[in-house]
Amino acid sequence: MSRAEDFNQYRVGVLKGDAKERYLKDLAVTFRVPEADDAANPPKLTLNRTAPDKIDLWVTGYYTGAHVAAKSGVTDIFPVWVFKTSENYLACKPSLPQATLDKLQQALDAMKRDGTHAAIVARYEAMTRAQ
C-alpha cells in the first residue's frame, strides 16, 4: 500500500472516537469499522472472508497495537503502512511550577544524551515483539 485510497478495498478496524478514526474519515477511507473497545479489533483480523465482523486491517499505534493484540492472544500482526508519526507529550496542570517542568525536561534531555532513553525504547520494542 502506498496511498490512502488503497485502503478502500479493505474493511479497516479502528477505535471508535479515536483521532485515527477521524483521520481515516478525512482520508475518505470508506470501509471503516469503528469498535468501542480496541481489544475487540485484533481477533477480527482473519483471512476467513466469511467470518462475521471480519476486518482486513487495523489502524492503531505501533506500541499500543502490539500490546492490545498480545493481550487478545493475537501475535502475528505487522505494520503494512505508516499513516503518520507523531510525538508523545506529557500533559501537566497549568499550575505546575516552571522549575518542575524545567527539571522534567532536563531529566529527559540527559536520558537522551546518555542513551538511557534509547535503551528503554529498545527494551519496550523487544517486549512488544516477544508477546
The single-letter code of the amino acid at 115 is: G
Collapse the DSSP code of 33 into the 3-class scheme (helix H, G, I; strand E, B; otherwise coil) and give the result.
Answer: strand
**Res 38: pLDDT:** 92
Mean pLDDT by 10 residues, the chain (131 residues): 76 90 85 89 86 89 86 85 77 94 95 93 70 50
**Domain ranges for the chain:** 4-71, 98-130
On whether the CB atoms of residues 24 and 84 are closer than 8 A, the answer is no
Give φ, ψ of 84 to 5 degrees: -160, 150
What's the Cα-to-Cα distance from 7 to each of 4, 30, 31, rounded to whole Å?
A: 6, 8, 8
pLDDT recorded at residue 1 = 63
CA dihedral 67, 71, 76, 81 (to 10 degrees): -40
Cα–Cα dist 105/75, whole Å = 36
**The model's pTM:** 0.69
